[in-house]
Amino acid sequence: MPDSVQNASALTADESPTTDHRVFGPSQTPTHPLATAPVGTPPFSVDGFVKEFLHELNTNQGVALSRSSINDQYLALASTVRNYLMARWLETGGKTQENQPKVVGYLSAEYLLGRQLGNALLASDLTDIAEKGLALCGIDLATLRNQEVEPGLGNGGLGRLAACFIDSLATMNVPCIGYGIRYEYGIFRQTFVDGRQVEQPDTWLQLGSPWEFPHPEASVQVNFGGHTETFTDEDGVEKSRWIPGWNVLAVPYNYMVPGYLNGRVNTLRLWSAQATNAFDLQIFNSGDYAQAVRAQTFAENISKVLYPEDSTPQGRELRLQQQYFFVAASLHDFINKELEENFDLHRLPERIAYQLNDTHPVIAVPELMRILVDEKGYDWDEAWDITGRCFGYTCHTLLPEALEVWPTELLGRLLPRHLEIIFRINEEFLAQVREQFPGDEMRARRMSIIAELPERGVRMAYLATVAATKVNGVAELHSQLLRDKVLPDFSQMYPDKFTNVTNGVTPRRFVRLANPKLSTLITDTIGSGWVTQLERLKELEPYADDADFRAAFREAKQWNKTRLTNLLKARDGIELPEGHLLDVMVKRLHEYKRQSLKLLHIVSLYEQVISGKIAAADVTPRTVVFGAKAAPGYKMAKETIHLINKVAEKINADERVEGRLKVAFPANYNVTLAEKLIPAADLSEQISLAGMEASGTGNMKFALNGALTIGTDDGANVEIRKLVGDKHFFLFGMDEPQVAALGAQGYVPGDYYQKNENLKAAIDLILSGYFSPSDQHMFDQVIYSLLNTDRFMTLADFDSYVAAQAEVEKRYADEDAWTRSSILNVARSGYFSSDRSMRDYIQRIWHTSPVL
């Protein structure tokens, strides 16, 4: 053992630098010794790393190595890596201040980050050194990585996409601030009780959060409620002003976003809500302890949980509070704290491009207008010109119910000045509509930002479309449908405003980190540059015909399956059989994603075996893994989860299908589990009804890790199929025009039930109470919804889906052919890097440049 380990208590080191609140703060000379190494050189020697690690353990955690807990060691390791990145962070701020470039301000209600330690080690090139240094201390790096609790700051694809995008911008040296909310509990932690989903608080902050930097001194006051009044200014001009009724403080917490091996560290700034007057000592002394802290409790509710249940008026109001809270703080932050003093706001569009990640942050549009008109004194037309050049809007849905509409009563009560501004924006916009389309009053009514029925409300997607420089969908098909079906009047009026940017995923996390065996094989074959130039994966194509490479590829896949098997056994008590086709469907539980179609396929296979229609020996051994959370108030989705778990319980206990069919549903699917599950998958289920999925990013992650896709022509599936080739993709189901035609002629789901013997038998088995012996009618609601309504045409696509699954089994029986297809999926999916997505945003929307 080196002296540095033995003499841990005697170690000293220079103090770590503190960082200025400003993302692009004053250029400082970093004082930390780790800051002196040029980018690209090894950041530490092993002994140097040990010294820094033990210093953090001794001074920050206050313990000697011999008495430290795993959590102490994890926090010390995180601080060691953080200190190295911190020097780069300050350097990045200095460069940005000096160059004064255009910055991307990414406004998102979600950031599903995943664990930070592994990504930080990778970005700073510290993984090998940390592993060796910790080994000298008798510590296993994997143990410390497993200690980290994933921040539950996102629900699914929207938040994970935001995390991928800010990773790519840092890697591409593009200045960016990600703005969002620091949810105290975030998305709920999912557990199952008798197969039913039960939501529990996600206490991700309980053991400490070493990756964040709180700056209470830089808090922003955010106002709500009250009323507006008119007044005459010194020049005799009549104006409006807002007299708020109450307010809260937005406290910024900064997170570092390191680029991959390039020395740039951007910032993610998340806001936490606190009361402006948190504690009333007089009330406390009178004995009313609860009332004394009421203001604090009320304020902190705003950043308590992600997506509070909005089926109640109180929940809906809290959601709007959340949305305004973070955008108001974020706009104030950049305008008043990041820009230099006396900056001419006419030039604001030259300095920042705000991207609205779905409708959640759209209230930023009237907020910027309010700042410019009410606080900065600009006239309306000047302010609208500035505002109209600052925002881009990404629409992530085709579902009308997902395009937010806020009641004017609620908006007027919570944000009265903003409602006035929205009314004026709408008035001037409708004047333009009537001028461009004279005599077409129905068009004006359709396009009005203010909806009149079923209640008067503000259509936030319309407001974003009117205000934004560009409106983009997130896959080719989605963008087309957005123009043609969701916002057709707007695309006719503003044809140049609409564009497409197909989503992507970061290869750093979802290949390099998540799949080390495959990554090593790729690097050994084509070199390391693919990690930032994912299109280079095409160089793997010739190796699909190389027997040795195919064998090595299969070996990597088997390693991933073994890793997953060990994880699920320890995490959930789930035993995965060996030698099975691993069939995976992981995504948010929603009826349009059609987990019910996958479930009916499973039940049909099972029913055919137990009824003697087919022999168990004729079934390709298959394990189906689900991963999904249902929104707490989404009853049908929660009933579907319950049904899946009950089916799994019955099938997994039935000796008649043992070794042939198994269903697993590990609770609390998250990024951490995804990083183990996706690389192990053989088959990726992307089976939404055509025309319903905006893009998907799970489909991209699976393809990049060598899983073959069974899917409809929906979202980015269309582009995946075109790139990987029809022979290496299992297409089924109606396309979008066929879906529209069937809907127009009158879809009768019961007809499909009556005509398809296997479908009828599967549904009847569920209705018989076979999977719910304690209550025969337990799942009637789920099944009757399919038989009578089936909004997403599950039964219509069932026959085609089963036929595609038969083709899957046929292809899987030829090991070499399946492996070849898997390799070609990897080789041809380089397009789906979030780096390419960012290049598209930069060229088509933001017009920003890297700062080197």
- CB burial of residue 362 (10 Å; 0-12, 13-18, 19+): buried
| 396 touches 694 (CB < 8 A) | yes
Crossing angle of helices 547-572 and 516-526, rounded to 10°: 160
What does DSSP say about strands 450-451 and 405-407: parallel, antiparallel, or unpaired? unpaired
CA–CA dist 73, 66 (Å, integer): 11
What are the tens digits of pLDDT across the range 579-631?
A: 999 999 999 999 999 999 999 999 999 999 999 999 999 999 999 999 999 99
Question: C-alpha angle 767/773/777, rounded to 5°?
Answer: 40
Residue 65's nearest CA partner among 129, 139, 148 is: 139
pLDDT at 403 over 80: yes
CA–CA dist 84, 90 (Å, integer): 11
CA–CA dist 788, 261 (Å, integer): 56
Phi, psi values for residue 303, rounded to 5°: -110, 25
DSSP 833: B
Q: Is 587 a catalytic residue?
A: yes
Which of 1-5, 34-38, 200-204, 279-283 has the largest mean confidence? Answer: 200-204
Range of weakest confidence among 36-45, 531-540, 722-731, 759-768 = 36-45
Give the 3-state secondary structure of residue 28: coil
Q: Compute the average pLDDT of residues 36-56.
A: 77
Q: Is 676 a catalytic residue?
A: no
Q: Is 485 a catalytic residue?
A: no
Region of 345 on the Ramachandran plot (φ > 0 left; ψ -120 to 50 alpha; else beta): alpha
Segments of 68-165 assigned E as strands: 103-107
The pLDDT, as a whole number, for residue 482 is 96
For residue 481, what are its two tokens?
Answer: 């449908």
pLDDT at 473 over 90: yes
Q: Give percent of the chain above pLDDT 70.
A: 93
For residue 29, what are its two tokens?
Answer: 């000379």
Mean pLDDT of the chain: 93
> Which residue in the list 396, 508, 550, 642 is annotated as catalytic?
396
The pLDDT, as a whole number, for residue 11 is 32
Residue 771's nearest CA partner among 660, 667, 640 is: 640
Give the 3-state secondary structure of residue 662: strand
Q: Is 593 a catalytic residue?
A: yes
Gyration radius from the chain CA atoms: 28
The pLDDT, as a whole number, for residue 399 is 86
Give the 3-state secondary structure of residue 287: coil
What are the tens digits of pLDDT across the range 672-685?
A: 999 999 999 999 99
What are the tens digits of pLDDT across the range 48-68?
A: 999 999 999 999 999 999 999
Crossing angle of helices 834-841 and 157-171, rounded to 10°: 80
In sequence order, which residues have a C-beta less than 8 Å from that of residue 827 and are 6 or more positions away?
537, 538, 539, 540, 541, 544
Give the 3-state secondary structure of residue 266: strand
- The string over 391-414, giving b where at least 16 C-beta atoms fall within 10 Å of a residue's C-beta and e elsewhere, is bbbbbbbbeeeebbbbbbebbbbb
Q: Is 569 a catalytic residue?
A: no
The pLDDT, as a whole number, for residue 361 is 98
CA–CA dist 143, 741 (Å, integer): 55
Looking at residue 507, its amino acid is P
> How far is Cα of residue 128 from the mean position of the Cα atoms in its chain?
29
The pLDDT, as a whole number, for residue 290 is 67
> Which residue in the list 96, 697, 794, 848 is annotated as catalytic?
697
C-alpha dihedral over 650, 653, 656, 660, to 10 degrees?
90
Confidence of residue 537 (pLDDT cuts 50, 70, 90): very high
CA–CA dist 812, 662 (Å, integer): 17
What does DSSP say about strands 189-193 and 196-200: parallel, antiparallel, or unpaired? antiparallel
The pLDDT, as a whole number, for residue 311 is 78
Cis upstream peptide for 454 (omega within 30°): yes
- CA distances in angstroms from 723 to 158, 247, 726, 752, listed in the order given: 24, 52, 9, 33
CA–CA dist 427, 448 (Å, integer): 9
> Which residue in the list 55, 417, 588, 836 is annotated as catalytic?
588
pLDDT at 548 over 60: yes
- CA distances in angstroms from 270 to 135, 148, 181, 250, listed in the order given: 35, 19, 5, 9
The pLDDT, as a whole number, for residue 592 is 96
* Count of Cβ atoms closer than 10 Å to residue 304 Cβ: 19
Q: What is the pTM of this model?
A: 0.93
Confidence of residue 30 (pLDDT cuts 50, 70, 90): very low
Token look-up 């899946």 returns: 644
The pLDDT, as a whole number, for residue 27 is 34
Give the 3-state secondary structure of residue 241: strand
The pLDDT, as a whole number, for residue 26 is 33
Q: Is 697 a catalytic residue?
A: yes
pLDDT at 18 over 80: no
Range of weakest confidence among 9-13, 68-72, 375-379, 633-637 = 9-13
Q: Compute the average pLDDT of residues 132-150.
A: 97
Q: Compute the average pLDDT of residues 701-705.
A: 98
Residue 308's nearest CA partner among 402, 199, 389 is: 199
pLDDT at 32 over 50: no
| 577 touches 623 (CB < 8 A) | yes
For residue 809, what are its two tokens?
Answer: 């089994």
In sequence order, which residues have a C-beta less than 8 Å from that of residue 548 and are 6 or more positions away?
none
Confidence of residue 41 (pLDDT cuts 50, 70, 90): low
The pLDDT, as a whole number, for residue 238 is 86
Residue 384's nearest CA partner among 450, 489, 276, 463 is: 463
Phi, psi values for residue 297, rounded to 5°: -60, -45
Q: Compute the average pLDDT of residues 188-200.
A: 97
Segments of 140-215 assigned E as strands: 176-181, 189-193, 196-200, 212-214
Token look-up 């290869």 returns: 507
pLDDT at 24 over 70: no
| H runs (alpha helix) in 746-849 | 749-755, 757-767, 780-788, 794-812, 815-827, 834-841
- The string over 527-565, giving b where at least 16 C-beta atoms fall within 10 Å of a residue's C-beta and e elsewhere, is eeebbbebebbbbbeebbeeeebbebbbebbebbbebbb
The pLDDT, as a whole number, for residue 286 is 75
> Which residue in the list 593, 646, 660, 721 is annotated as catalytic?
593
| 588 touches 692 (CB < 8 A) | no
For residue 301, what are its two tokens?
Answer: 């509710």
pLDDT at 413 over 80: yes
CA–CA dist 349, 335 (Å, integer): 11
Confidence of residue 561 (pLDDT cuts 50, 70, 90): very high
Give the 3-state secondary structure of residue 598: helix
> Which residue in the list 319, 701, 721, 820 is annotated as catalytic?
701
For residue 22, what are its two tokens?
Answer: 């400003």
Looking at residue 572, its amino acid is D
| 91 touches 35 (CB < 8 A) | yes
- CA distances in angstroms from 582 to 513, 523, 811, listed in the order given: 21, 26, 14
DSSP 292: H
pLDDT at 669 over 50: yes
Range of weakest confidence among 185-199, 270-284, 550-564, 815-829 = 270-284
Phi, psi values for residue 123, rounded to 5°: -65, -30
pLDDT at 14 over 80: no
> Which residue in the list 587, 629, 676, 721 is annotated as catalytic?
587
| 574 touches 582 (CB < 8 A) | no
